[in-house]
């Protein structure tokens, strides 16, 4: 659609910008040129695409901030790619420099767009409707008719028909005209939307600077006190200090889960919940609660969520003389939805050499020649452990912090039997296996359960939320308010009154033909 | 009726709905085949009719390609006959689609009633796809008159038919209770808005695809308008763009609501973070950004028209990839892997 000079300030997005040409060399000019480039719609579009593209790798490569354990597993499996990915920041895409660069540029572009447009809008909002254009027939919607009614009457009727519009009426000897405009809020909505995007980002930043997110695995019967040392992983905001952690304490009393027994969803865990005894602070009384998915425990601004669960087989390791050297629940992490789980047992003291066990836990052990060992069901109906045994130095004293879910095998050797075959201990519930070379024995006593909890504090949430809600309101305004201008010109000609009605829809998808027809009809009928 | 019977009812009505969609699809193909033999006088009749139809006043029944102003040398009588047949087939196809939609609706509702306890039928991919296609059909039926959507009929019926077949044959899941994460009132509001937006984006994407096809044809023939066949009856580029824009403009705020408001609120309640860059969230965000780019592109010189239509289709691809791809490729890594 042609743009004519009578349009005044441009409607949303229709800003015609001259091509700024090649970059000038003078520093000030160059800055201005850069700014203009950056804030142009074309650049904004390209930045939007870059943002979309930059977000993709984060959905393909496991993310530190989403699932640290999967990152470790991934790194184990891909030794060549890991250093490259690490350099590119692909394990924390959304905190990486390049991702930040894209959205910061986009924000600058956004602000560079909002500011001048606010100024233009401020003027436009207070302006009178533009005067009657010289040639109404050039407008996209246009109707003409003649009538016997007096020009003043027609103008009067037009004024009433255009109620809700900002109007200016002019009269002269030959007749007169009405200029009318409405839909000013479209641009307001548009500006609100873009400002809100900035608000959302501020809220997001606020939350990630001042909040924290941590994860901990607790075996039933175990407890947790909210201090840094107790977390398995802890991801604080840049401005969050561990001293700000609220001093609550809880014990996981029990954990309930039901597994679906038939249908395609067989084996899916549902209705799981954990019973917690908690104290909001050491001087508060103990209270009992149950937490489950969608129902976290809220203590003092911090929330405790139940996000996962699994098995912790209880084993006892004895030395050759039968003295207990290790006993307790060991967390085995589920590897898939069948709850076949992987874990390690470390026995640092009491036996001639340090011992390490590494292997699988099967909740309902089953075996076929084709599949090898597997678990037939995720519930612990026939629990079994199958582990390889290592002896030597666990590397616990090397000073390098170690995952409790992996063995450092550098100074460990696999134990073999007399025939030189690696030893595997296969334990059914209650069984004991004696290890070769006077290394002792291991017993599988019972199965406990563990819960995976996420503990987090998200202070900027409400800012981000109100930002998005405002953005939505602005968006609705900018999409559905249709700014339009309508002119009615009335002239006395050859003893009759010639009426011209024309309109201009300034929205992005508008068509005023219907409204103009209707208005013309109204004026004609009453005339 | 008990829950099992409702489940049976749902299964049967979805199959029956697919049969009716198939019949409608065939009828619409016949409609266009019939129209092939005569020129569809696109410059005069179609553009004129289209213009009248986009008027807000709401317009007459869409099969309006009147042959009145055709020259006698073209064989006006023949053309009249053909146009009458085209109109009849269009009307039959439309009615078949209405029946199919009714059966489709019964299938969705009874699916919800089949669960014990009764719930909204949006618990897995099968149910999501079933409901999203229903939204596509309802959107199409509701806008049929206002935008004279005869040209969209074969595409909508064909698309819904194919998706339903895939849904029933591959994605089918027996009715089960909702898993824990889904037991929240936010399920209703979050998922239905995602479904509605998906349906509307899909409709808009169809118009954008046609825009590209027609644009290509026009370029190839150096601006000469098609006179025969399907493309001749597809409205002008301006109208295609306008229809695409309006459906997208409707869908975008709904998507914003689903992905960026109710999603985070629910995620905060269920998982302890309102935005965690879970693969599904990442792709919902990508879709949002691409459609935001579409709205901007449409208003930017040099991006209007063809480029904007391409952006819209990229948006649609990310949307459907998020729905299908995430579950199959990133199943274990996503907390959304059920949907």
ipTM of the complex: 0.81
Chain B window 22-51: which residues touch A at a Cβ cutoff of 8 Å? 51
Q: What one-character-per-residue DSSP string does A18-29 give? A: ----SPPSSHHH
Please list every residue in chain B whose beta carbon sits closer than 8 Å to the beta carbon of residue A44.
Answer: 296
Q: For tokens 């629910």, name the residue.
A: B266
CB neighbour class for A33 (10 Å; exposed up to 12, middle 13-18, buried from 19):
middle
CB atoms within 10 A of CB A3: 11
Identify from B250, B289, B315, B327 which residue to disrupt to test chain A contact, counting A C-beta atoms within 10 A and taking the largest count: B289
C-alpha count within 13 angstroms, C-beta hemisphere, residue A420: 0
Interface contact A51-B282, CB threshold 8 A: no
C-alpha count within 13 angstroms, C-beta hemisphere, residue B6: 19
B257 at A interface, C-beta within 8 A: yes
Please list every residue in chain B whose beta carbon sits closer than 8 Å to the beta carbon of residue A67.
Answer: 333
Please list every residue in chain B whose beta carbon sits closer than 8 Å to the beta carbon of residue A455.
Answer: 272
Report chain A's terminal Cα–Cα distance, integer Å. Answer: 33
Beta bridge partners of A3: none
Distance from the Cα of A14 to chain B's closest Cα (Å) equals: 6
Interface contact A45-B297, CB threshold 8 A: yes
C-alpha count within 13 angstroms, C-beta hemisphere, residue B331: 9
Distance from the Cα of B36 to chain A's closest Cα (Å) equals: 31
Element (H, E) at A486: strand A484-493
Nearest beta carbon to residue B274 from set A265, A270, A461: A461
Q: Give the residue, B267 or B253, on which the prediction is more confident.
A: B253
Please list every residue in chain B whose beta carbon sits closer than 8 Å to the beta carbon of residue A511.
Answer: 54-55, 242
Interface contact A213-B273, CB threshold 8 A: yes
Of B212, B219, B211, nearest to B242 by C-alpha is: B211
Please list every residue in chain B whose beta carbon sits closer than 8 Å to the beta carbon of residue A59.
Answer: 277, 279, 282-283, 326, 330
C-alpha count within 13 angstroms, C-beta hemisphere, residue A324: 6
Identify from A40, A43, A52, A520 which residue to disrupt to test chain B contact, counting B C-beta atoms within 10 A and taking the largest count: A52
What's A389-440 look like in SS3?
EEEECCCHHHCCCCCCCCCCHHHEEECECCCCCECEEEEECCCEEEECCCCE
Interface contact B180-A272, CB threshold 8 A: yes
Distance from the Cα of B83 to chain A's closest Cα (Å) equals: 27
The pTM of this model reads: 0.80
Nearest beta carbon to residue B277 from set A44, A63, A479: A63
B89, B28 in Cβ contact below 8 A? yes
CA distance B93 to A468: 42
In this prediction, residue B229 carries a pLDDT of: 74
CA distances to A10, A166, A187, A303 from A125, rounded to whole Å, are 12, 10, 10, 46
Of A362, A360, A333, A276, nearest to A452 by C-alpha is: A333
Interface contact B296-A13, CB threshold 8 A: yes
Task: Per-residue pLDDT tens, chain A, 527 aa: give them.
Answer: 333 333 333 333 344 455 556 667 778 888 888 888 777 888 888 999 999 999 999 888 888 877 777 788 888 888 888 999 989 989 988 888 999 899 899 999 999 889 999 999 999 888 888 888 888 888 888 899 888 888 888 888 899 989 989 999 988 888 889 999 998 999 999 999 999 999 998 898 888 888 888 889 999 999 999 988 899 888 888 888 888 899 999 999 999 888 877 765 677 777 788 999 999 988 989 999 999 887 889 988 899 998 889 999 999 999 888 889 999 999 999 888 788 999 999 998 877 788 999 999 999 998 888 888 888 888 888 999 999 999 888 888 777 777 788 888 888 888 888 888 888 899 999 999 998 888 889 999 999 999 999 898 888 888 999 999 999 999 999 988 888 899 999 988 888 889 999 988 887 666 788 888 888 888 887 55
Close Cβ partners of A82 (under 8 Å, ≥ 6 residues apart)? A74, A75
CA distance A70 to A32: 47
Nearest beta carbon to residue B332 from set A66, A336, A465: A336
Minimum Cα–Cα distance from A466: chain B residue: B261
Nearest beta carbon to residue A94 from set B177, B277, B298: B277
Nearest beta carbon to residue B333 from set A70, A471, A518: A70
What percent of chain A is helix, strand and coil (3-state, nearest 5)? 35, 35, 30
Q: What one-character-per-residue DSSP string does A54-70 give? A: HHTHHHHS--TTT-HHH
Of B52, B43, B81, B95, nearest to B228 by C-alpha is: B43
């Amino acid at each position: 659609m042609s743009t004519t000079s009578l349009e005044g300030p441009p409607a949303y997005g229709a800003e015609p910008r001259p091509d700024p040409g090649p970059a000038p060399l003078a520093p000030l000019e160059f800055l201005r040129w850069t700014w203009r480039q950056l804030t142009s719609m074309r650049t904004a579009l390209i930045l939007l695409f870059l943002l979309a593209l930059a977000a993709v790798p984060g959905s393909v490569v496991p993310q530190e901030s989403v699932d640290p354990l999967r990152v470790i597993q991934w790194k184990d499996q891909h030794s060549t790619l890991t250093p490259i990915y690490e350099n590119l920041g692909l394990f924390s895409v959304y905190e990486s420099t390049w991702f930040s660069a894209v959205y910061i540029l986009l924000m600058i572009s956004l602000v560079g767009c909002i500011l001048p447009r606010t100024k233009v809008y401020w003027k436009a909002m207070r302006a009178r409707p533009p005067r009657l254009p010289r040639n109404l027939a050039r407008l996209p919607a246009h109707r003409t008719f003649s009538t016997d009614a007096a020009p003043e009457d027609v103008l009067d009727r037009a004024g009433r028909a255009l109620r809700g519009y900002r109007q200016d009426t002019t009269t002269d000897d030959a007749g007169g005209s009405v200029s009318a405009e409405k839909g000013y809020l479209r641009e307001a909505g548009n500006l609100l939307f873009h400002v809100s995007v900035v608000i959302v980002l501020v809220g997001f930043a606020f939350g990630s600077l001042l909040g924290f997110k941590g994860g901990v695995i607790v075996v039933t019967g175990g407890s947790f006190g909210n201090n840094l040392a107790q977390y398995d992983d802890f991801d604080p905001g840049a401005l969050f200090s561990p001293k700000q952690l609220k001093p609550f304490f809880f014990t996981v009393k029990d954990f309930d889960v039901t597994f679906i027994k038939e249908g395609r969803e067989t084996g899916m865990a549902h209705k799981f919940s954990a019973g917690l005894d908690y104290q909001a602070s050491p001087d508060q009384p103990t209270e009992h609660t149950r937490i489950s998915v969608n129902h976290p425990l809220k203590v003092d601004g911090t929330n405790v969520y139940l996000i996962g669960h699994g098995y912790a087989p209880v084993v006892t390791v004895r030395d050759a003389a039968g003295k207990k050297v290790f006993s307790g629940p060991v967390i085995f992490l589920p590897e898939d939805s069948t709850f076949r789980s992987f874990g390690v047992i470390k026995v640092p003291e009491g036996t001639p050499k340090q011992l390490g066990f590494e292997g699988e836990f099967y909740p309902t052990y089953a075996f076929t020649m084709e599949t090898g060992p597997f678990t037939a069901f995720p519930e612990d109906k026939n629990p079994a452990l199958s582990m390889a045994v290592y002896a030597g130095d666990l590397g616990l004293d090397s000073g390098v912090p170690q995952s409790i879910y992996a063995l450092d095998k550098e100074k460990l050797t696999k134990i073999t039997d007399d025939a030189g075959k690696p030893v595997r201990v296969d334990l059914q519930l209650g069984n004991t296996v004696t290890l070769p070379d006077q290394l002792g024995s291991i017993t599988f006593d019972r199965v406990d359960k563990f819960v995976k909890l996420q503990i987090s504090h998200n202070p900027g949430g409400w800012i981000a939320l109100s930002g998005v809600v405002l953005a939505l309101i602005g968006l609705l305004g900018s999409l559905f308010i249709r700014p339009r201008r309508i002119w009615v010109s009335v002239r006395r000609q050859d003893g009759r009154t010639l009426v011209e009605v024309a309109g201009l829809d300034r929205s992005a998808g508008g068509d005023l033909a219907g409204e103009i027809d209707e208005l013309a009809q109204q004026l004609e009928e009453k005339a | 009726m008990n829950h099992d019977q409702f489940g049976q009812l749902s299964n049967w009505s979805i199959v029956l709905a697919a049969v009716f969609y198939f019949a409608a699809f065939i009828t619409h193909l016949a409609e266009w085949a019939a129209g092939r033999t005569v020129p569809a006088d696109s410059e005069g009749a179609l553009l004129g009719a289209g213009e009248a139809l986009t008027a807000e006043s709401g317009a007459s029944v869409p099969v309006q390609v009147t042959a009145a102003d055709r020259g006698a040398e073209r064989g006006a009588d023949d053309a009249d006959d053909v146009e009458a047949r085209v109109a009849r087939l269009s009307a039959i196809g439309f009615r078949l689609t209405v029946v199919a939609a009714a059966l489709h609706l019964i299938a969705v509702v009874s699916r919800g009633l089949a669960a014990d306890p009764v719930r909204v039928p949006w618990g897995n991919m099968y149910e999501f796809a079933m409901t999203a296609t229903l939204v596509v059909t309802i959107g199409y039926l509701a806008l049929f008159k206002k935008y004279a959507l005869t040209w969209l009929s074969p595409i909508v019926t064909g698309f819904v038919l194919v998706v339903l077949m895939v849904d029933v044959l591959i994605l089918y899941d027996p009715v089960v209770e909702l898993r824990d994460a889904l037991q929240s009132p936010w399920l209703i509001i979050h998922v239905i808005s995602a479904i509605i937006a998906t349906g509307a984006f899909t409709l808009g994407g169809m118009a954008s695809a046609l825009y590209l096809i027609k644009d290509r044809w026009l370029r190839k023939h150096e601006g000469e308008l098609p006179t025969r066949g399907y493309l001749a009856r597809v409205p002008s580029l301006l109208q295609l763009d306008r229809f695409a824009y309006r459906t997208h403009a409707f869908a975008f705020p709904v998507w914003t609501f689903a992905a960026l408001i109710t999603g985070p609120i629910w995620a905060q309640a269920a998982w302890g973070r309102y935005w965690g860059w879970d693969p599904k969230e990442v792709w919902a965000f990508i879709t949002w950004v691409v459609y935001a780019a579409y709205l901007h592109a449409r208003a930017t010189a040099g991006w209007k028209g063809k480029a904007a239509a391409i952006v819209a289709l990229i948006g649609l691809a990310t949307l459907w990839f998020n729905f299908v791809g995430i579950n199959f490729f990133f199943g274990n890594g996503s907390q959304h892997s059920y949907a």
